[in-house]
Structure 1
Amino acid sequence: MSRRLLTLAIPFALGVVIIGHYNHELWSLFSSLRTPGARGRLGDALRNLNIPAKPLLISYASNTTPTHLYDRLDYRHPTGQIPDTTAIVLNWSRFQNVALIAGLLCGPWLDHTIAEVFVWNNSPHPISFEDFLGSGCSRKKLKIYNSPSNILFQARFLACSQANTPYCFIQDDDYLIRPEVIDSLHHRFVEFANHRPIHLLPAHEHLSSVLREVHSPDYAMHTSFAWLGHGAFLHQSRATEFLALMGWLNCTEEELSMADNYFTILSNQVPEIWVDQGIELGGGQPFTIGTEGDIRNRKHIEKAAQHLDFLISESTRQISEIPYFSTEDDYSNIPISRTPCVGASCVLETNIQLLPDGMSHVSHSAANILAIEEENAHLLGEDGQRHYIGHPAAHAVDGKPDTNFTSPSSAQKGEWIMIDALQSLGSKWMAVEMVWLVDHWMEVILRGCNFESSADRENWTATPHVLSCQDAVVETGKGFIECSMQIPVDGNGHQYFRAILNHDIARPWRISEVWLRGRGL
């Protein structure tokens, strides 16, 4: 499916160049999978994509730090955890991709999360279990449905509504999501009781969703739009309720086939979106490309917004049994950016302001959603768009020292960066260190921070220790230092670790990597 930005054409074009180069390497690898009997090489294909991830460095410091005493903190599933999620993938014209994705989803690294992989085949060419023999999927874990017709994106919601698990993970067939990212997404989704869907988005799509956010003056309407194909977790019941709402609205077959364009908008909830850097696979015959796809997407986003206006109107507000649609005001004026870690399961969060003041999000009608995006994109400007896309928070936890998260403006008092370890750290750890790979001038900001830990995100304990910084060795550049702060855990079950700035500093945040390492007893 075409997922192009509607207004951010220049930065997106840069992304196409990068992705296109990567696709060339991927498809040279996939060519070996097209030959008869070669599907067993899917494991080799995943390993070439660093799946599962190779161990990340514990330290970049140039001195003789005894790193053998430390481990990178990584989420570990509780013993006996029962998988509770159905992964859903649609097949149309990219079966090589679907086989690769199935191999990842059926891998042992997700045995505690993925109970079933449901491949819904919209193609007129039937597929069977034998086509997946090299994927590592068992007959018990892999479910295949050959659809009598191509019902496009309605299929993923029908598949989810039929799932035997409480949760669904949805992704497109031209995208690969790393297993540790799926684990982080699953853990956070299940941890919070409201079970609101969480969407993974690359930086340019994340920006588009943020710019489109719209709410009415009385907050009766509060929504935005986000794709599902880059990876999304949702409750099985939400898929059922969404399809019921589409029926309640008497949606046409065309609208049902474009269900993705309606899912987030009609919920009347601002979707939770995380920046992620999945692997673009490409290939095959896209559903729509270029201008045709943009026009179709605009049409159905606008139609979804019109449906939402109808639901909120006075004539329907008194109807209490409308499925899926919510009238609860859960809008937050404090935006929090979230991104999953690469190479280890954890989540980075920050309240650093990534967009300038003056963004317009208020409208009496949801139908203005695309006009609001265009207005905000103009206010942000091309340079601002490039910065947002080129230096997202995801670059601070991607395991690549040559990328970085950089704030768009100077560091402000009260700004914080937090890592969720996804588990309470018990008595097995003598100490935990929050470690930063940064430029020399970032030391000023870090020394202006208080370092804290918490078990519940509300009650924070400050560390009595002092920040330690030393030169770092990075192959891709010079001028790096590694700073670390020891944070005692003392068996207190702390899970969240953050640095919070205690005064303004006339320099932006710039972080190449941040991670947690622990020293066991």
Structure 2
Amino acid sequence: MTTAILLSWERMDSLKEIVVHLCPHVMFKEIMIWNNKVDVHLEEKMFNCPKVRVFNSPNNMFFVARYMACAMASSPYCYFQDDDWKIHYLRSMYANFLRHPQFLHTDTNSDVWALTNWRWCFFEDGSLATRDSVVKFLKQASVTDMDPLEFAYGDMYFSTFLNQVPYQLENYLEELVDPAKDEAAFSKGSSGKSRNKQYMHKAAQKAWDALKRKDPAFEQEELHPTYLERDVRSPCADDRCLIISNKHPFPDVRMFKYRPYIDIEEIEKIHTLYEDPSIYIRYPFSKAVDGMDNTAYKSTQPIAQGDYIGLDMLLEIDRKIEYRLLYQMGDQWIKNAKLEVAGSDAVYRTIPLQYTCKDVRNMDYSGKITLDVEHAFLNRAWDNLVFDKKEMDKLEYDLDVDKDDDEDEEQDLSQSHNRQQSPKKTPELSYYEDYGWRTQCKFVVHEASKFRFMRLVSGQDEAYPFVVYDLGWKVI
């Protein structure tokens, strides 16, 4: 069981809305509201939820109040949430947390996910942690001689002092407060963000010093599954599954060595110059499981043999499940893929893959690329030089490539004499563009022994990336 921890300051309407959202979830034993507003007295009867417990603080304890409240809780786990966001995917985040409670589990959107997984580590709008890790943090605060102001900004220190990369899920967040009108926002404006980064940097320096002196209060080794071993990415839109993939959006962040004299903003610049996160921010994993066919997850690198995508169903099931994959890699990819399933132990076994595929037209597409051109582009290694000659001729593209016989050459030469010379253009197709056609494949999994995880594993290296519009399922 878990205790939800909410801080109260100014946003009473948002706080009540969050309580209404959290109260029905059976995972929460109680919802503890820590009131930092000294001149306002809150009572449990103000919230229509029997799980609510209120603590009116004699002083404003700022963010460290979260951890003091968690230390007071009777449950083994704590859930922290800001009062300006509503988190819709609690069931799926909790299911993954129960598999790996040794890690702080967090929930945020794609642009912040790119920041915290490529530039620096910090937890965001909804987070799950063990009570033991919180008690440990409060002890770490004493051995690192945190001053009262640092202690007040505990959010900047907790995740850093864990010395483990948080297990972070990426998805849509519902913002309850307009940031432009929010006068209560602690991190409002550039000064607030700069202050947060300043304390993140201080936290990293203190952790660095503790690790150098081999302080036993700090974890010295990376726990398993390591950052690169993890494959759970985003919750499904209905909160009934999680998309899994071993395709990492960014290079191994450990190639950069931390130096305590380099500040956070300089680190951001260094990382961004090495790898621009904008493609992932536009096409994150969550777009493949958001229930919409006009959005897509697109990997930042071509598919390699052994790369996979799949779903965690959150619990073991023995029903007949039909999966639907809508993607833009042509039917060649699934022909070379293998289907694997596993129980809660995540020990995978290969099962027969029987599928049906068809081409599906995107009715919103208004371009001129034909289905044959797209098939050729996706299924043949022509390195972006694939033509529809009739269409390209009208646009005065160079047609010197892929001439099959002398007749075509003579025809092209005669045509060139009858028109004025103009600069030749080379048409290119991009794997990251939508040309109006997708491949829809369906397959069924029905195992006598229950399964929880399903994944499609690439059988060979491909020239193109994952472009997945939808990966969904239904019971049949």
Partner in structure 2 of residue 13 of structure 1: none
What amino acid maps onto 1:190 in structure 2?
L
Partner in structure 1 of residue 472 of structure 2: 515
- Contact preservation (8 Å) 1:442, 1:510: no
Does residue 432 of the first structure (1) align with residue 346 of the second (2)?
no
Partner in structure 1 of residue 93 of structure 2: 185
Unpaired stretches in structure 2, ≥5 consecutive residues: 366-435
Partner in structure 2 of residue 443 of structure 1: 331
Q: 2:8 aligns with which of 66, 87, 91?
A: 91
| Partner SS, residue 118 of structure 2 | helix
Does residue 225 of the first structure (1) align with residue 121 of the second (2)?
yes
Q: TM-score, length-normalised on structure 1?
A: 0.72
- Give the CA deviation at 1:289: 1.4
Deviations 1:81-101 (A, max 9, x none): xxx111111111211111100
Map 1:139-218; keep pairs closer than 5 Å: 141-178=51-88, 181-192=89-100, 194-212=101-119
Which whole-Å CA distance do the structure 1 matches of 2:17 and 2:228 have between them?
A: 41
The alpha-carbon distance between structure 1 residues 333 and 421, as it changes in their structure 2 partners (threshold 3 A), is: closer
Q: 1:291 aligns with which of 166, 190, 208?
A: 190
The alpha-carbon distance between structure 1 residues 227 and 332, as it changes in their structure 2 partners (threshold 3 A), is: closer
Deviations 1:216-260 (A, max 9, x none): xxxxxxxx52124x1111011211111121122221111111111
Does residue 258 of the first structure (1) align with residue 258 of the second (2)?
no
Q: TM-score, length-normalised on structure 2?
A: 0.78
- Contact preservation (8 Å) 1:361, 1:372: no
The alpha-carbon distance between structure 1 residues 465 and 104, as it changes in their structure 2 partners (threshold 3 A), is: same
- Contact preservation (8 Å) 2:326, 2:438: yes
Which whole-Å CA distance do the structure 2 matches of 1:364 and 1:196 have between them?
A: 21
The alpha-carbon distance between structure 1 residues 119 and 341, as it changes in their structure 2 partners (threshold 3 A), is: same
- Give the CA deviation at 1:397: 1.2
Q: 2:343 aligns with which of 442, 455, 465?
A: 455
- Contact preservation (8 Å) 2:90, 2:239: no
Which whole-Å CA distance do the structure 2 matches of 1:448 and 1:511 have between them?
A: 17
- Contact preservation (8 Å) 1:336, 1:349: yes
Does residue 404 of the first structure (1) align with residue 296 of the second (2)?
yes
What amino acid maps onto 1:515 in structure 2?
G
Which whole-Å CA distance do the structure 2 matches of 1:368 and 1:496 have between them?
A: 42
Partner in structure 2 of residue 29 of structure 1: none
Map 1:498-513; keep pairs closer than 5 Å: 498-513=455-470
Partner in structure 1 of residue 18 of structure 2: 101
Which whole-Å CA distance do the structure 2 matches of 1:458 and 1:227 have between them?
A: 26
- Contact preservation (8 Å) 1:451, 1:463: yes
Q: 1:125 aligns with which of 40, 50, 65?
A: 40
Does residue 386 of the first structure (1) align with residue 278 of the second (2)?
yes
What amino acid maps onto 1:250 in structure 2?
D
What amino acid maps onto 2:185 in structure 1?
P
Which whole-Å CA distance do the structure 2 matches of 1:461 and 1:360 have between them?
A: 32
- Give the CA deviation at 1:183: 1.2
Which whole-Å CA distance do the structure 1 matches of 2:256 and 2:274 have between them?
A: 15
What amino acid maps onto 1:518 in structure 2?
V
| Partner SS, residue 505 of structure 1 | coil
The alpha-carbon distance between structure 1 residues 366 and 182, as it changes in their structure 2 partners (threshold 3 A), is: farther
- Contact preservation (8 Å) 2:91, 2:240: yes
- Give the CA deviation at 1:469: 1.5
Deviations 1:410-435 (A, max 9, x none): 22211101211121123xx2x32322
What amino acid maps onto 1:327 in structure 2?
Q
Which whole-Å CA distance do the structure 1 matches of 2:261 and 2:109 have between them?
A: 25
Which whole-Å CA distance do the structure 2 matches of 1:247 and 1:150 have between them?
A: 20
Identity percentage of aligned residues? 24
What amino acid maps onto 2:257 in structure 1?
S
| Partner SS, residue 486 of structure 1 | strand
Does residue 328 of the first structure (1) align with residue 221 of the second (2)?
yes
| Partner SS, residue 188 of structure 1 | helix
Q: 1:361 aligns with which of 245, 250, 255?
A: 255
Which whole-Å CA distance do the structure 2 matches of 1:169 and 1:234 have between them?
A: 7
Does residue 306 of the first structure (1) align with residue 195 of the second (2)?
no
Partner in structure 2 of residue 268 of structure 1: 163
The alpha-carbon distance between structure 1 residues 86 and 334, as it changes in their structure 2 partners (threshold 3 A), is: closer
Deviations 1:48-88 (A, max 9, x none): xxxxxxxxxxxxxxxxxxxxxxxxxxxxxxxxxxxx11111
- Give the CA deviation at 1:157: 0.7
Which whole-Å CA distance do the structure 2 matches of 1:416 and 1:101 have between them?
A: 36
Does residue 417 of the first structure (1) align with residue 309 of the second (2)?
yes
Partner in structure 1 of residue 452 of structure 2: 495
Partner in structure 1 of residue 414 of structure 2: none
What amino acid maps onto 1:225 in structure 2?
C
| Partner SS, residue 464 of structure 2 | strand
